[in-house]
Amino acid sequence: MSDALAHSSASSGSALLAAQLSLQTRLLSDPHQHAAWHNAIGTRRYVLGMLASAFALRSL
């Protein structure tokens, strides 16, 4: 894998992590109200972040 692809995957993972942190703060502000919303939106970003991290680590 090229270094550019690994760098791109790492950057994508970092961006998804930042987005996930903002979603977590909304969830923690009122867990009962935002649970369904977080399951629909937050979980998808969490999984995409893991996928991007796997691609970035694959080059090691």
Q: Is the pLDDT of residue 1 over 60?
A: no
pLDDT tens digits, residue range 4-19?
655 676 677 778 778 8
At 57 the pLDDT is 79
pLDDT tens digits, residue range 17-54?
788 888 888 889 999 999 998 888 878 888 887 888 78
Please give the tally of structural domains in the chain: 1
Quote the CA–CA distance of 18 and 10 in Å, as a whole number.
Answer: 12
pTM equals 0.57
Query: Kindly report the CA angle at 48 between 34 and 4, in degrees rounded to 5?
Result: 145
Higher per-residue confidence, 28 vs 57: 28
State which residues form the domain around 36: 3-57
